[in-house]
């Protein structure tokens, strides 16, 4: 009997639990250090791929500028000099792309850029000789570059996904280690620190449930953690862990939103990019055809922008682009899709809008921009920075989305040719062509 009482009253030793905790701590510390290096490498690669993607967009912008300059140059030495300088810049950047692509493990991009170096060299020679084949080579290169940019965008998403997957995997491994530690030392903790271990057990149970039924959305995950785990009855340390989990999920959600914006927004103007604009245009034209509705688009171009850039520098030109983009966003309706089409040219999609309303919106936009004060605009022809616009409407002006863009562009060209700082509808262009033919 005395022996039995002695056994019942004997305190359970916590030394094995402490030893186990030390082993787990060492294991977790080593794993964390390894993960930090591993995740850092993945993040560095993701950042570099993203920078390459942005540089490719700039590369395409420069190539498009050369293409546009070749299409309008008529023995103008200053334009030819600009074309040659831009082509040399493309040569230099293609060599840089090769090294960076090899460094981050993008052999297809490196191989493609390697092929472009001699092509750019030949192109430079054709340009200097004023060979018309140069324009064809540039158009072909732009088409190939669009495919390269698309593949690079996919690489950006994949690289970011790898970082997210690694973080999530580490997150779940840490949770698994914590759960295992709690289970292995639970019987000791329950008998010695009942008031402390009860909330920890409840937290572990809720974390295991969350792990089994984890929502796909990071936002839903954070809400689930706050609703089912955080409680006033649990210790402050456990609540701090819960808050860290919530912040982690929210940070991942925020980064994913920024990445999504990167894919649809133009970085310099914060307007939608051409790809997003075209996707909406195709859908809206198809819907208009099905429901017998109208869709209008406007092409807007800054007048004498090259002269302004040459006189004041590209930094001042970028400021003008940003301010005009802001004005366009403010004057467009919520349903409209304003986008940067390329260079100093903008495009606006007007769903369910007839030509009269579209011309009215664009002309109001033109007047606001003409009244807006810009740095050193007095030196330009007319003493102010202005825009010209061309409008076309489906179905009266086009049979599909592609011809709608072309006809709006023709109207813009007519506005440029007839004095600038005006908005012309495609019907006016057609009437002028009919009159000239008679």
- Beta strand segments in 68-158, E: none
pTM (2 decimals)?
0.45
Within 13 A of 189's CA, how many CA atoms are on the CB side? 17
Strands 295-302 and 345-351: antiparallel
Domain edges within the chain: 8-192, 274-437
**How far is 403 from 401, CA to CA, in rounded Å?**
6
pLDDT, one tens digit for every residue, the chain (438 residues)? 444 434 333 444 556 656 766 777 777 777 778 777 777 777 877 788 788 778 778 877 877 777 777 776 656 676 667 777 777 777 677 777 777 777 777 777 777 777 766 776 666 666 666 666 666 777 777 777 778 778 878 877 887 887 787 778 877 777 777 777 667 666 555 555 444 445 555 555 554 544 444 444 555 555 665 665 555 555 565 566 667 766 766 676 676 666 656 677 888 888 999 999 999 999 999 999 999 999 999 999 999 898 888 888 889 889 999 999 999 999 899 999 999 998 889 999 999 999 999 999 999 999 999 998 888 888 777 788 899 999 999 999 999 999 999 999 999 999 999 989 999 999 988 876 655 555
Q: Are 392 and 384 in contact (CB under 8 A)?
A: no
Radius of gyration of the chain measured on its C-alpha atoms:
31
Residues marked as catalytic: 344
Strands 387-394 and 423-425: parallel
Q: Are 368 and 400 in contact (CB under 8 A)?
A: no
Q: Please name the residue ranges forming H helices in 193-295.
A: 194-212, 218-228, 236-264, 274-291
Strands 295-302 and 423-425: unpaired
Strands 337-342 and 387-394: unpaired
* Domain 274-437 architecture: 2-Layer Sandwich (3.30)
Query: Which helix (H) or strand (E) element contains residue 216?
Result: none
């Amino acid at each position: 009997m005395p022996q039995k009482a002695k056994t019942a009253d004997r305190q359970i030793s916590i030394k094995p639990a402490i030893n186990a905790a030390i082993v787990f701590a060492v294991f977790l510390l080593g794993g964390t250090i390894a993960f930090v290096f591993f995740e850092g490498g993945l993040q560095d690669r993701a950042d570099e791929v993203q920078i390459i993607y942005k540089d490719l967009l700039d590369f395409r912008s420069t190539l498009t500028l050369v293409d546009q300059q070749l299409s309008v140059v008529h023995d103008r030495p200053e334009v030819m000099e600009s074309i040659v300088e831009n082509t040399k810049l493309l040569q230099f950047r293609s060599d840089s792309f090769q090294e960076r692509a090899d460094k981050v493990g993008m052999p297809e991009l490196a191989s493609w850029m390697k092929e472009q170096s001699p092509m750019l060299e030949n192109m430079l020679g054709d340009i200097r000789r004023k060979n018309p084949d140069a324009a064809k080579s540039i158009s072909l290169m732009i088409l190939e570059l669009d495919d390269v940019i698309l593949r690079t965008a996919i690489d950006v998403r994949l690289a970011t996904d790898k970082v997210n997957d690694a973080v999530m995997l580490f997150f779940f491994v840490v949770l698994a280690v914590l759960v295992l530690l709690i289970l292995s030392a639970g019987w000791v903790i329950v008998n010695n620190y009942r008031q402390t271990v009860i909330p920890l057990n409840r937290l572990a149970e809720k974390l295991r449930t969350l792990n089994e039924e984890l929502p796909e959305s990071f936002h839903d995950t954070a809400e689930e953690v706050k609703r089912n785990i955080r409680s006033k009855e649990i210790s402050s340390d456990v609540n701090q862990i819960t808050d860290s989990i919530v912040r982690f999920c929210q940070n991942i959600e925020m980064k994913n939103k920024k990445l999504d914006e990167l894919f649809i927004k133009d970085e310099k103007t914060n307007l939608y990019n051409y790809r997003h604009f075209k996707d909406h245009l195709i859908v809206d034209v198809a819907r208009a055809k099905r429901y017998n509705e109208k869709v209008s688009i406007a092409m807007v171009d800054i007048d004498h922008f090259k002269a302004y850039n040459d006189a004041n520098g590209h930094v001042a030109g970028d400021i003008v682009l940003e301010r005009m983009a802001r004005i366009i966003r403010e004057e467009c309706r919520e349903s409209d899709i304003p986008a940067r089409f390329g260079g100093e040219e903008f495009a606006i999609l007007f769903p369910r809008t007839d030509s009269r309303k579209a011309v009215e919106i664009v002309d109001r936009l033109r007047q606001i921009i003409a009244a807006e004060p810009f740095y050193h605009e007095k030196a330009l022809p007319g003493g102010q920075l202005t825009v010209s616009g061309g409008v076309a409407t489906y179905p009266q002006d086009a049979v599909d989305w592609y011809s709608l863009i072309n006809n709006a562009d023709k109207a813009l060209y007519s506005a440029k040719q007839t004095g600038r700082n005006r908005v012309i509808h495609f019907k006016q262009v057609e009437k002028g062509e009919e009159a000239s033919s008679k």
